[in-house]
Amino acid sequence: MAARVLITTDYLHPGDTVDQLLREHGLEPVYSPSRGPRTTEERRSMFDGISGAILASEPVTADMLTGAASLQVIARSGVGYDSIDIQAAAAQGIRVCNAPGTNHHSVAELTIGLIIMAARRLVEVSTAVRQGHWPREAGHELRGSTLGIIGYGPSGRATASLGAALGMTVKVSTAHPDPNNKAVHFTDLDTVIRDADYLSLHTRGGQSTSKLIDAPRLQAMKPTAVLINTARGSLVDEEALAKALYDGTIAGAALDVLESEPLPVNSPLRGLDNVLITSHLAGQTAEARTRAGLAAAHAVIDVLENREPAHPVDR
């Protein structure tokens, strides 16, 4: 009997390249697309009879893995894996992998797109035009402004390159600076936050309950600054951000990721005119999806065929 591979990533479908690859290796794909929170029973039985899993960003908790007797590998069709209980998986000998280097250009392009939208107030202008108005408000050029970046992994590096190409001064806070890159100013976190006209997050979500961007750090930003988050929703204190946006502590925010997705109906961010929210789209280009899906499939195949996967995050 063929080993079964659960696929919850909603853009992967029967008959596509991932499906074909898995079947070529004698595996049986099983589809259960992630479309929001699952019921308790669905979560409890999610991995029944499953040997490998290619997952979207939905949570995988210790209690979900308790009955996963046949599960050998979980592969994220993306970069982030903080939604998976790595320790619980390791305790049961379940490998966990991700797909780095597959979507950083997509993330960087959306980041710059969000910055341009904020700088030129494109959402407000487009909405007003559809309502019959003809606004002629002055926006801001990016050239000469300061792009602050926290984190210098693949998406941070790609965003820095695009920012520099647009004539922005790029300041980066990272534990891994690149002294050979003369287009980037590597400095400390407080300086990046203080100097940024556009502050973009490209770092991992931590295990700490404290937020990277909290009320004191929002207070330290320029009142004209815009916060951009295409990394992890867990990095930002959304209550503090909503207050900062309402009070004018900062000028605006553009968020592609949230602490809870979809955006809850009672979120304090709802109803604010100076926040732009997109639906976790940063890595969702056709090209990035193809790369990420295939990378996750290869990770599953490698583990099930007793080879070391290319991108384990559990060791």
Q: Is 261 a catalytic residue?
A: yes
> Please, what sign has the CA dihedral across residues 166, 171, 177, 183?
positive
Q: Is 307 a catalytic residue?
A: no
Q: Are 108 and 158 in contact (CB under 8 A)?
A: yes
Selecting among 280, 289, 298, 311, the annotated active-site residue is: 280
Tokens of 168: 């922005």
Selecting among 232, 289, 298, 311, the annotated active-site residue is: 232
Cβ contacts of residue 255 below 8 Å, gap of 6+? 227, 228, 229, 233, 236, 269, 275, 276, 277, 278
Please state whether the peptide bond connecting residue 262 to the residue before it is cis, i.e. omega within 30 degrees of 0.
yes
CA–CA separation, 18 and 285 (whole Å): 16
Neighbour-count burial of 315, counting CB atoms closer than 10 A to its CB (0-12 exposed, 13-18 middle, 19+ buried): exposed
Identify which of 140, 242, 236, 149 has the alpha carbon closest to the alpha carbon of residue 199. 149
Question: Please, what is the Cα angle at 167 between 287 and 217, to 5 degrees?
Answer: 85
Do the bridges between strand 146-150 and strand 226-229 make them parallel or antiparallel, or are there none, so unpaired? unpaired
Q: Is 232 a catalytic residue?
A: yes
CA–CA separation, 64 and 48 (whole Å): 10
Identify which of 175, 188, 181 has the alpha carbon closest to the alpha carbon of residue 160. 181
CA–CA separation, 13 and 16 (whole Å): 6
Query: Where in the sequence numbering do the catalytic residues fall?
Result: 232, 261, 280
